[in-house]
Amino acid sequence: MNSRILFAALLPLFIAFTIKADQPNIVLIMADDLGYGDLACYGNPRVRTPNIDQLAKEGVRFTQHYANGPECSPTRTALLTGRYQQFAGGLECAIGTGNVGRYDDAIRLAKINELGLPAGSAVIPKAIQNQGYKCAVYGKWHLGYEPKFNPISHGWNDFFGYLGGNVHYFNHRETSDLHVLFDDDLPVYREGYMTDLITDSSVDFINRTTKPFLLFVSHESPHFPFQGPEDKEKPVDSSNWMDIDPQAYISMIESLDESVGKILRTIEEAGKKNDTVVIFVSDNGGFANAADMGVLRGSKSMTYEGGIRVPLIIRWPEKITAGQVSDQVSITFDLTRSILNLAGISENGNQSRSDSLVSKLDGYDIIDHVMKQRDELPRTLFWRGKRGNRVWRAVRHGDYKLVTKEGEADPINAVYDLSVDPAETKDITDKRPDLKRKLSELLKTWERDTQSER
């Protein structure tokens, strides 16, 4: 065969190989309300999580990873925009059941049918799709009930899941009995346990997708209502929706672990293991009195460590050295920056909308950091969460952290040295008033510079 003809015949295969090598598949598995100490590989002696533990053995486990917010919607906003959620407006607090705003700006937006994440503010998935990726999200959305906020309107190729913050695990309705389960942008009815339905959709997507893909597996577990896979007949309604059931909680986490195992096996059986980056993370700290936060103080909705420090595990065979434990401080929107870089997206894009958003990203490429085993990098990170008149704030600057709370009878304004006191038990304000002034000024400047864009 003529060499030119042979080259032309092999060119499509060469291009396909190049895309596969340069553009890994990306699977992001996000648990909901998973506490820092809820997994065996993070020290929990009561819960069996062999699949997630194995993921950690084959990749890197982070000890100081933070959610962008102490609740669901804020962190998810930061993930999809790659920026502090405060820029989006109205999303510093989880959207209430039935599309309810829970603080002044969210209430304002709800009144004009604008409570949710505008598609034009999100860099994921559109920037990823521009690189030839197919993008799917299965499970919890919690970024707006209006049709214009539906994942399909954001540009996701596939969506199956629910629009709100949590649903009954078996009938898939909210506590208000509102039907919020969708297949793409159409209401749908399915039989089965919510964790299993999310997993089945994810497995199917992996098996039928040949292009490079971004798969966002957005689990409900272990968020209330506390229902394990064996609890179909357990009475759960608005009267006991948030009642804690310790055994059900363990069962939910172990079911979540089984889901992770199914997805990992599917990736391997499809011959995609070495070409797939798997990220496992939680959206915020655990629910008080249900989750295990280890030694950390506080829980979901607070800016103490227990409300924002969460598990993070990343695996990329042959790229990330197995068995690492990283103390590098990181945060949700670092994953956004990392995912975009994996897809080959430069910070210096052209003038398309998605590229202009890329140039505004706040995050740091944490995957590149561990691949190259760089030295730990000091970070300055900020948090603010609002609900009603209550406002939690925090800033971490190096190892020092300022935590404040206002709007309630027991205000907080304390400084901690996390290098020796990760449990935040000793306020060092009296010893370091200069430090408190510095941290307070950093937080004040950040709030001034981080205003809603709508």
pLDDT, tens digit (0-9, with 9 covering 90-100), for 217-261: 999 999 999 999 999 999 999 999 999 999 999 999 999 999 999
> Is position 7 within any domain?
no
pLDDT of residue 349 exceeding 80, the answer is no
> Is position 171 within any domain?
yes
Q: State the pLDDT at residue 124.
A: 97
Give the contacts of 345 (CB within 8 A, at least 6 positions apart).
127, 128, 130, 131, 355, 358
pLDDT of residue 7 exceeding 60, the answer is no
How far apart are alpha carbons 160 and 195 in whole angstroms? 12
SS3 state at 37: coil
Task: With cut-offs at 50, 70 and 90, classify the pLDDT of residue 347.
Answer: low
> Is position 389 within any domain?
no
> Is position 64 within any domain?
yes
Give the contacts of 335 (CB within 8 A, at least 6 positions apart).
28, 79, 279, 281, 363, 366
Q: Distance of alpha carbon 3 from its chain centroid, rounded?
A: 50
pLDDT of residue 1 exceeding 70, the answer is no
pLDDT, tens digit (0-9, with 9 covering 90-100), for 295-308: 999 999 999 999 99
Crossing angle between the packed helical segments 246-269 and 194-208, to the nearest 10 degrees: 10
| Poorest-pLDDT segment among 11-20, 77-86, 344-353, 392-401 | 11-20
Tell me which residue of 231, 214, 212 sits closest to 222, measured CA to CA. Answer: 231
How far apart are alpha carbons 159 and 182 in whole angstroms? 8
Q: What is the mean pLDDT of residues 394-414?
A: 97
Sign of CA dihedral 410, 297, 101, 120: positive
Structure tokens at 62: 């982070």
How far apart are alpha carbons 447 and 434 in whole angstroms? 20
pLDDT, tens digit (0-9, with 9 covering 90-100), for 325-335: 999 999 999 99
Give the end-to-end CA distance of the chain in Å, rounded to a whole number. Answer: 63
Q: What is the mean pLDDT of residues 85-92?
A: 97
> Is position 399 within any domain?
no
Q: What is the mean pLDDT of residues 397-406?
A: 98
pLDDT of residue 110 exceeding 70, the answer is yes
Give the contacts of 322 (CB within 8 A, at least 6 positions apart).
57, 58, 59, 315
The residues with which 384 forms a beta bridge, in sequence order, are 393
The number of distinct structural domains making up the chain is: 1
Q: State the pLDDT at residue 354.
A: 54
How much of the chain, in percent, has pLDDT values that exceed 90? 91
Q: State the pLDDT at residue 416.
A: 98
pLDDT of residue 3 exceeding 80, the answer is no
pLDDT of residue 79 exceeding 60, the answer is yes
Q: State the pLDDT at residue 357.
A: 82
Q: State the pLDDT at residue 65.
A: 98
pLDDT, tens digit (0-9, with 9 covering 90-100), for 357-367: 888 999 999 99
pLDDT of residue 8 exceeding 90, the answer is no
Q: What is the mean pLDDT of residues 164-180?
A: 95
Q: State the pLDDT at residue 22.
A: 77
The residues with which 326 forms a beta bridge, in sequence order, are 62
Q: What average pLDDT is seen over the chain?
A: 93
pLDDT of residue 19 exceeding 80, the answer is no
Q: What is the mean pLDDT of residues 262-277?
A: 98
Residue 279 and residue 312 in contact, taking contact as beta carbons nearer than 8 Å:
yes
SS3 state at 368: helix
DSSP percent split of the chain into helix, strand, coil, nearest 5: 35, 20, 45
Q: State the pLDDT at residue 355.
A: 62
Tell which wins on pLDDT, 289 or 5. Answer: 289
Residue 409 and residue 425 in contact, taking contact as beta carbons nearer than 8 Å:
no
> Is position 400 within any domain?
no
CATH number of the structural domain spanning residue 349: 3.40.720.10
Residue 132 and residue 342 in contact, taking contact as beta carbons nearer than 8 Å:
no
> Is position 442 within any domain?
no
pLDDT of residue 386 exceeding 70, the answer is yes
Per DSSP bridges, beta strands 330-331 and 324-326 are unpaired
Q: State the pLDDT at residue 194.
A: 98
Q: What is the mean pLDDT of residues 424-437?
A: 98
Q: What is the mean pLDDT of residues 380-404?
A: 98
> Is position 353 within any domain?
yes
- For residue 267, what are the domain limits? 25-380
Return the exposure string of 396-417: e unless at least 16 CB atoms fall within 10 Å of the residue's CB, then b: bbeebbbbbbeeeeeebebbbb
Tell which wins on pLDDT, 301 or 178. Answer: 301
